[in-house]
Each structure stands twice: as C-alpha cells, then as structure tokens.
Amino acid sequence: MSDYKIGGPLKQFTAIEKTTQMAAFLGDRMVRAIEGNDAVEVHYLLATLDDYHDYLWRYYRRLDKEQAPLREGASGSAD
C-alpha cells in the first residue's frame, strides 16, 4: 500500500509526489473502507484528503503570488 505523507515543502516536486501518493492511497484504502462500510477508516481518509486539499491550495496561492507580477507585466505590455 502506498503511504500518503502529511505536510511538506511547497515545491512542484512535492505537489506531484503528493498527488501520485494520494491517487494510490485513495484507490487502495478508500475503496476498501467504503466497501467495508468502515466509518472510522472513511473518517481518517477524509482527514487525509483534507490535508491534501489544504496543501494544494497553499501551493496554488504561492504560485499565484509568484506569477502575479508576470501576468501584470504581460497584460501591461500589450497596451
């Protein structure tokens, strides 16, 4: 089974690695938890999914902040 690691640096490599881990994690454990009607396991997996969701939003906000000057410069040069 693939393990999902909580947290991590806001880097492209980490985001890709976390996405790959999450896909395997959910494909394996979430399916079994749902099939087994295991409320405790589903709750744990939802908390893990919430961490992944939060991580990607933080990663997006960092990218957006870094790229904002580039977007502003690109839109300003067309005038």
Supply the pTM of this predicted model. 0.72
Domain that holds residue 54: 12-73
CA dihedral defined by 33, 37, 43, 48, rounded to 10 degrees? 20
What SS3 class is residue 79? coil
Report yes or no on 5 lying in a domain: no
Question: What pLDDT score was predicted for residue 76?
Answer: 63
pLDDT at 77 exceeding the cut of 80: no
The domain tally of the chain equals 1
Q: Which residues contact 43 (CB under 8 A, 6 or more apart)?
A: none
Report yes or no on 1 lying in a domain: no
Residues 32-58: pLDDT tens digits?
999 999 999 999 999 989 999 999 999
pLDDT at 78 exceeding the cut of 80: no
23-27: average pLDDT:
86
